Structure 1
Amino acid sequence: MDFEVTAMKTTYDANILTYCQWRDDLTMQQSPFCHVDNLIFCCLSYLNWDGIAEGFTAAESISLRDAARLWEHRPTAEQKVRVETDRDLLRQTAASRRFGEVRLFRYAEQFSETQQQQFSATAFLLDSDTVYVAFRGTDNTLTGWREDFNLSFLPYVPSQAAAAAYLRGILSLGFSNVYVGGHSKGGNLAVYAAVQMQPKDFPRIRAVYNNDGPGFVTDLFAEPQFQQLQERVYTFVPQASVVGMLLEHDEKYQVVYSTQKGFLQHDPYSWCVIRNDWYYSEDTTNTSKLLDSSLRQWILGMKPEEREKLTDAIFHILQSETNAHTIQDLIGGGAGTLSGVLRAWTDM
């Protein structure tokens, strides 16, 4: 492939699907794990691997190629596809030399409306001594969104505790090279989980990836022993990032070009790739900076108990006025649903 043509295309619209085509015939041994691979595993973690990749150890793992075959034979309702592009990604990766023999194990999912928890994780075995732990981001349930809001006033949320326990279990298996990451809330979980590990395990944590995930209400890296880990935390945000700018980030972030605009840049399939890395921008947009500053002042201007009351009010209205459990339920209700929510809000 002519690189000049590749570079020109990359500048505008090459994404992780394009990358899969380029790297199709190169194994992880031929071309080592990179930042782009990280996001691909994060996207694959959005898929429902229940009953397919639940083996507890590497010896009980299943190749992505075989897992995809089983997944495709499921009824559509059980596949639980977040976006159709996830299906495209699965088919491309499963058929490739680079990803087809990557092995999945220890799929976990915890969901509770009463505990306000939406959590899932998948372990991807890259070779006998290297594993990537992917934490799923926010799904389309109101419970998942509620847990996101809870991040603004709680010292930790249930999914953060679950993520730490999950990573602790992976480390107990003795892998020398452990990568941890997630997209959206999954990125927050990855950072939180890694920081909760014992300092003696830090050398085995090769990198932690926060792909446009929110920050924290407290400084996780305040303790001196965490400095060695902080240097291996990679935070990527698109130019017009909203989610990735929320709350406090002590670590540095790198800005990636996106083919989308505004909030839609949160879509991982819009992030631009050049060769085996991101196509980087020098900084976020002025709009993103203004929104970040405004939200930061607004959130920090409220006491934690005030943030909690506001969150309770928002979700009480959404559930009492709509009976909705997912974002699709809200959208499916049409204008009547929206007007009911707005009416209840103005009556408060």
Structure 2
Amino acid sequence: MSTLFDYLDWRGDITFNEMEPNKLDAAILAHLTYAAFDGLVPENFKETKTLSQFASDFNKAPDYQTRVKDKFLKNKKTDDITQQLAVTKRFGDIKLTGYRNIYNAEKAEQFAAITYRYGKYTIVAFRGTDDTFAGWHEDFNIGWMDEVPAEADAVQYIKDLSKKIKGKLILTGHSKGGHLAVAVAAKVPFLIRRKIQRVYNFDGPGFAEEFFKTVQYKRIESRTEWVYPSASLVGMIFHHPDNFEIIKAEGIGAVNQHNIITWNMMGGDFVHANGFDEGSGFFHKAFNEWFENISHEQREKFVKALFDVVEASGVKTLQDFEKSLIVSGVRMITKLNSMEKDSKEEVKKILKILSDAVKKTARSIEKEKKLQKK
């Protein structure tokens, strides 16, 4: 079945002036944020560089071998699609600007964004979580903090950008980047919000259920699109709106299908699935029941305890953890054993609620299956 590579063959010779940016373009540019832009794309919004020029500079970079190494959500296909985009009429002349990459382990802050400009269109793409523990810690903090650092960074980014642009604004992002796109659209001032044409969340975490009842979200609801592969894990965290799309993707399991490169398309849209697979549906029900049955304080305590243990490994990324699995594992177990009794009991209590939610969901699904057979 066709993927986004085939879309480039089909529509790569049509500029944005001839056919305005659509959902597939937004998905491609969301995935492109995982490319190694550092040092090759201007950080300010005054200077720009075309995508074709970036691709050329990328190939000539003295640290090219480091840039093309596989990372979380970035592999050879990311670099391949970058080079293929660069030679198309549709994407080659897009101007890249305002690349911002922020990382702060102490604050559990990981944020990256880039702006694409073409004629009257400005597309901002927020990057998803990388393989740093700080990035994953921030994702978990979404569950209890009113605003994680990346959300504040994203709002400030749009405020800085808005002083430099006119015309239509499109926000897009994959994984945590999709969550940020929606959060920004809801939070920015009216004068900026009215410029926003579309907002895309591609397999990104949701929000607390109350978020969808707020005036801020209602103002941008009709302009948001939520897209998930049928096997979704990251996107199943927290709550979603009633209107979202479920699409087909290559590969088995949520890890493979989380990557936009695997998503199926036909014509000018994704290929839709009948629903989530059983695993994704199960996780969504169990996780949210657990999440709703623990207090705000318990969520905070659980996340803190979890990442106190994770950070005791002494490494900063998932990749480094895999390289020193035994040593890191021993350090984590030592930290876990040294936790105060009250903290241990609190974590056990929260995990017991999770276990009960999983069992209850399993029984519910089994009951539904029996009713369907009847």
Question: Normalising by the residue count of structure 2, what TM-score does the alignment of the two structures yield?
Answer: 0.83
CA distance in 2, matches of 1:341, 1:31: 53
CA distance in 2, matches of 1:326, 1:72: 26
Q: Which residue of 2 aligns with 1:119?
A: 111
Q: Which residue of 1 aligns with 2:38?
A: 50
Q: Deviations over 1:84-135 (max 9, x none)?
A: 22111111111212111111001111110111100010000022x2111000
- Whether the 8 Å contact between 1:71 and 1:79 is mirrored in structure 2 is no
Paired AA for residue 295 in structure 1:
F
Question: Of 56, 60, 79, which aligns to 1:73?
Answer: 60
- The reply on whether 1:197 has 2:185 as its aligned counterpart is no
Structure of greater Rg: 2
Q: Deviations over 1:6-39 (max 9, x none)?
A: xxxx3xxx21122222223222223321111111
- The reply on whether 1:232 has 2:232 as its aligned counterpart is no
Q: Residues 272 and 78 (structure 1 numbering): CA distance in 2 closer, same or farther, change over 3 Å?
A: closer
Paired AA for residue 66 in structure 2:
A
Paired AA for residue 311 in structure 2:
Q
1:24-43 mapped onto 2 (5 Å cutoff): 24-43=12-31
- The reply on whether 1:333 has 2:321 as its aligned counterpart is no
Q: Which residue of 2 aligns with 1:307?
A: 299
Paired AA for residue 230 in structure 1:
E
Paired AA for residue 34 in structure 1:
N
CA distance in 1, matches of 2:177, 2:100: 13
Q: Which residue of 2 aligns with 1:21?
A: 9
Greater shift in the superposed pair: 337-346 or 237-246: 337-346
Give 3-state SS (helix, strand or coil) of 1:133's partner.
Answer: strand
- Whether the 8 Å contact between 2:43 and 2:100 is mirrored in structure 1 is no
CA distance in 2, matches of 1:112, 1:263: 28
Paired AA for residue 42 in structure 1:
A
Q: Which residue of 2 aligns with 1:241?
A: 232
Q: Residues 308 and 103 (structure 1 numbering): CA distance in 2 closer, same or farther, change over 3 Å?
A: same
User: Which segments of 5 or more consecutive residues in structure 1 lack a partner in the other structure?
Assistant: 1-9
Q: Residues 80 and 182 (structure 1 numbering): CA distance in 2 closer, same or farther, change over 3 Å?
A: farther
CA distance in 1, matches of 2:23, 2:326: 42
Give 3-state SS (helix, strand or coil) of 1:46's partner.
Answer: coil
CA distance in 2, matches of 1:138, 1:79: 18
Question: Normalising by the residue count of structure 1, what TM-score does the alignment of the two structures yield?
Answer: 0.89
User: Which segments of 5 or more consecutive residues in structure 2 lack a partner in the other structure?
Assistant: 339-343, 345-374
Question: Of 315, 328, 335, which aligns to 1:324?
Answer: 315
Give 3-state SS (helix, strand or coil) of 2:303's partner.
Answer: helix
Give 3-state SS (helix, strand or coil) of 2:102's partner.
Answer: strand
1:77-88 mapped onto 2 (5 Å cutoff): 77-78=66-67, 82-88=74-80
- The reply on whether 1:286 has 2:273 as its aligned counterpart is no
Q: Residues 245 and 23 (structure 1 numbering): CA distance in 2 closer, same or farther, change over 3 Å?
A: same
Q: Residues 333 and 283 (structure 1 numbering): CA distance in 2 closer, same or farther, change over 3 Å?
A: same
Q: Which residue of 1 aligns with 2:51?
A: 64
CA distance in 1, matches of 2:69, 2:106: 22
CA distance in 2, matches of 1:112, 1:335: 26
Give 3-state SS (helix, strand or coil) of 1:118's partner.
Answer: strand
- Whether the 8 Å contact between 1:153 and 1:217 is mirrored in structure 2 is no
User: Which one scores higher on RCO, CA 8 angstroms, separation ≥ 6?
Assistant: 1
- Whether the 8 Å contact between 2:248 and 2:273 is mirrored in structure 1 is yes
Question: Of 130, 139, 143, which aligns to 2:134?
Answer: 143
Paired AA for residue 102 in structure 2:
Q
Q: How much identity, in percent, do the aligned residues show?
A: 27
Give 3-state SS (helix, strand or coil) of 1:219's partner.
Answer: helix
Q: Deviations over 1:127-179 (max 9, x none)?
A: 2x211100000001111111111111111100000101111222222421100
Paired AA for residue 201 in structure 1:
I
- Whether the 8 Å contact between 1:199 and 1:225 is mirrored in structure 2 is no
Q: Residues 312 and 60 (structure 1 numbering): CA distance in 2 closer, same or farther, change over 3 Å?
A: same
- Cα shift at 1:221: 4.2
CA distance in 2, matches of 1:274, 1:251: 24
